[in-house]
Each structure stands twice: as C-alpha cells, then as structure tokens.
C-alpha cells in the first residue's frame, strides 16, 4: 500500500510545479499572468436538484469499498515502534482500519491548475476534467485518509475554483469561488439528509476545501440542529484571523486535546518562514466579521498537542508520511517532525524535512499540512468524537 503514496507525492509535484516555478522565479505579477484565467467568468449551469443522489458525484461515500481513496491506510516504516493507539490501524489493510460511529464530510483542495499562458483556462473546473479529478482522488488518499477511522466518509466532486482565483482580486475570482461553494453546499445538504439523525459529524477540508467548510459553518450549520452535532471541524490550510474571523464562526478554537465541538487548523512552515505572499493576499480580503482584516495572528492549533498555540518536540509526532528519494515507496515515520505555533500564528516544523518536492517558496509546506501530522490527526479526530459522545 505504500506504493500508493508515491502517486500522491508525484501528483502533488505536478499540481504544484507551475506555482512553484512561477513563485520562485517570476514576480508576483508574472505569477498572476501565468495562473489567472484571462477570459470572462462563465456562469455555471445549476446542478440538478437531485445531483448528489448519484454515487458518481462522490469520490468517497459509503458503498465504494476498497477503491474509496479516503480509505487509504499507510503502513509504518520497518522497525518503527507505533504507539499503542496506532498499532491496530497501522496493521490493517487499506479500507479496513477500525472504525468509529461518526460521519465525515471532507472537501478536497484545489486540483484544477491549468496554465493561462498556454491554454484558455476556465474559472471553474468542469466536471469530468480527468487531470483535475485524478489529482483530487490522490489528494484524498493523502489527506482525507487521516479521517479513515470514521464509519462514513463523504467527499464530493465539485466545480472547484481554478488555482489562479486565489491570486487575484478580480471580480471573476469571487464569482468562481461562490460557484464552487454552491456545489459544496448542495453536496453537504445531501450528506446531512443521508446520515443517521443522531450521528456525530466531523467537517473537514484543506486549502480551498477549507474555505468552503468555513462558509458551511457560518451559513448552513450555525443556529441549526446540525450545530450541536459537530464533534469537530478541521478547516486545515486556510488562515483564520483570531480577531477578525473566529468570532464569526459557531465553534471556538480547540483549547484542549479532549475538547469536542471545536475547530482546528494550522499552516505549516519550516524554519525561517516567509509568509508574505500568503498573508498579503489574505489580509487584502474582507474578514468573516465584515470589513478589513488587521495584522493580528492567525489561528494555530498545534496538531501534536491538540491545543491552540504551544509547541511539542518530534517525539510527540505519531507518524509522518515520508516518501523515499525517488518516490518508489513511502512510509509512516514516527518522531520525524516537531511543531511550534509562532507569534504570527504559523506552525513552525523546524528544519526543512525531506518529504518531497512540493514545498512552496518561503519554506511553505502547505501541501504537506496533513501528511506531516497524519497519525496525530487520525487520533485527534477519534478523541474528539469520543468526547462528544461521552458528553451527550
């Protein structure tokens, strides 16, 4: 099963290479030219009212079986001593790890990354774009798989906004993001109607997926009967201003590893981080509470401690997904990466680890946010669901 992970890494490289080259070599203006579509936004045709009844509209959902990408289960490196809580999961074949009675709704990150320099990129990925959908499935293997102890995992196909939509303030970018959210919203409504009425819910995503998760929390969950059923939320890889965003969300930040009904996120950087490109663009957008964002810290819940802020040594890391040099295999390696929340709210992972070639400029380990802490996240989810169940 380790071989599957090399596909994840290879696809991450493909998905990020255009952005890496542009960001590392060109100016920000040239990066926008390379990745931001030149054409007008095309209004998306509304999905049929029952679109998500079709199993083909889901990458992951009950009934898919061993081909479900979110059910991928990595193995520990030979000789590594998995901690007791991980022993059973690490030995189980893909799709057969022990499960707990909760349902996960996971939204994958951006996988539609055409170059505007070489083709007429659309603002939204069409359903059926083979390259984007293959990437999405591989991202789910490396990210949503950390939630694979759930009894149910649901991950929808959706007409995601193009990567360049997050590099510009053009009106078309906002329209594309809104259109993508429209699909996610419909998928979530079907998910909520399909699972058991008293089943705890974990809502999660990465990057663009997390942006849509945060909007679901505000517009579909807050103030409804669903709010009390959210055992935990994981909008990982998307910055959340502690002062200007968090107050608008129905869940607090996780402050205790055994806390339920709270929110966890982080953005991973190695030592000597340069987050200027990320934060400059983020601070130029409107906050969730309305108006502009200040320059205060973003939320950092340390995945090694389960609490907002703080630090932990690499010995606290239960397992990082690490490929070998030529990506011919990969292993789940414990005690590989530490984690410390800095004053800006970035998660600092120490000296740059060798996890692949998808690292972005500024020592930004964005595409590895989940793989770096895969085993800890798996345990964190189960622990918070258990706390939610105990409190009922």
User: Looking at residue 207, what is its pLDDT?
Assistant: 96
Q: Which two tokens stand for residue 255?
A: 């402050």
For the cut 70, the answer to whether the pLDDT of residue 127 exceeds it is yes
The beta-strand segments (E) located in the chain are: 58-60, 100-107, 150-156, 201-206, 230-236, 262-263, 268-269, 301-302, 307-308, 311-312, 320-323, 330-333, 339-341, 347-348
Alpha-carbon distance 82 to 368, whole Å?
21
In which band, very low, low, confident or very high, does the pLDDT at 360 lie, cut at 50, 70 and 90? confident
Return the SS3 of 314. Answer: helix
Write down the mean pLDDT value for the chain. 86
Average pLDDT for residues 187-201, to the nearest whole number? 97
In which band, very low, low, confident or very high, does the pLDDT at 117 lie, cut at 50, 70 and 90? low
Domain coverage including residue 247: 2-391
Alpha-carbon distance 146 to 139, whole Å?
11
Burial of 198 (0-12, 13-18, 19+ CB in 10 A): exposed
Alpha-carbon distance 291 to 156, whole Å?
32
How many domains are there within the chain?
A: 1
How far the first Cα of the chain sits from its last, in Å, is 37
Among 96-110, 204-218, 357-371, the minimum mean pLDDT is found in: 96-110
- pTM (two decimals): 0.89
User: Looking at residue 106, what is its pLDDT?
Assistant: 98
User: Looking at residue 100, what is its pLDDT?
Assistant: 84
User: Looking at residue 89, what is its pLDDT?
Assistant: 38
Say what angle helices 171-194 and 208-216 make with each other, to 10 degrees.
60
């Amino acid at each position: 099963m380790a071989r599957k992970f090399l596909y994840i890494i290879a696809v991450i490289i493909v998905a990020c290479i255009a952005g890496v080259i542009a960001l590392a070599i060109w100016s920000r203006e040239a990066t926008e030219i390379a990745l931001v579509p030149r054409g007008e936004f095309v209004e998306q045709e509304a999905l049929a009212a029952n679109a998500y009844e079709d199993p083909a509209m889901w990458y992951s959902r009950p009934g898919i079986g061993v081909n479900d990408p979110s059910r991928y289960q990595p193995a520990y490196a030979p000789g590594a001593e998995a901690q007791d809580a991980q022993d059973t999961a690490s030995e189980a074949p893909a799709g057969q790890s022990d499960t707990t009675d909760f349902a996960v709704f996971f939204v994958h990150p951006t996988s539609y990354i055409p170059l505007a320099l070489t083709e007429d990129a659309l603002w939204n990925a069409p359903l059926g774009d083979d390259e984007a959908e293959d990437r999405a499935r591989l991202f789910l293997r490396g990210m949503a798989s950390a939630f694979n102890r759930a009894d149910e995992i649901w991950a929808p196909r959706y007409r995601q906004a193009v990567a360049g939509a997050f590099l510009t303030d053009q009106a078309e970018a906002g329209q594309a993001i809104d259109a993508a959210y429209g699909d996610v919203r419909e998928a979530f409504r079907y998910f909520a109607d399909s699972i058991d009425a008293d089943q705890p819910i974990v809502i999660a995503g990465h990057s663009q997926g997390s942006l849509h998760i945060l909007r679901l929390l505000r517009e579909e969950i807050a103030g409804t009967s669903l709010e009390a059923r959210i055992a935990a939320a994981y909008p990982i890889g998307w910055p959340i201003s502690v002062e200007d965003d968090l107050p608008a969300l129905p869940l607090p930040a996780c402050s205790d590893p055994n806390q339920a009904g709270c929110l966890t996120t982080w953005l991973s950087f190695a030592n000597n981080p340069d987050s200027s490109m990320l934060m400059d663009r983020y601070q130029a957008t409107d906050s969730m509470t309305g108006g502009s964002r200040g320059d205060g810290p973003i939320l950092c819940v340390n995945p090694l401690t389960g609490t907002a802020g703080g630090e932990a040594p690499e010995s606290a890391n239960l397992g990082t997904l690490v490929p070998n040099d030529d990506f011919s295999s990969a292993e789940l390696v414990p005690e590989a990466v530490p984690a410390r929340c800095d004053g800006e709210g970035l998660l600092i992972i120490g000296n740059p680890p060798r996890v692949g070639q998808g690292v972005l400029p500024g020592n930004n380990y964005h595409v590895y946010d989940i793989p770096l802490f895969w085993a800890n996240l798996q345990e964190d989810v189960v622990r918070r669901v258990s706390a939610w169940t105990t409190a009922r």
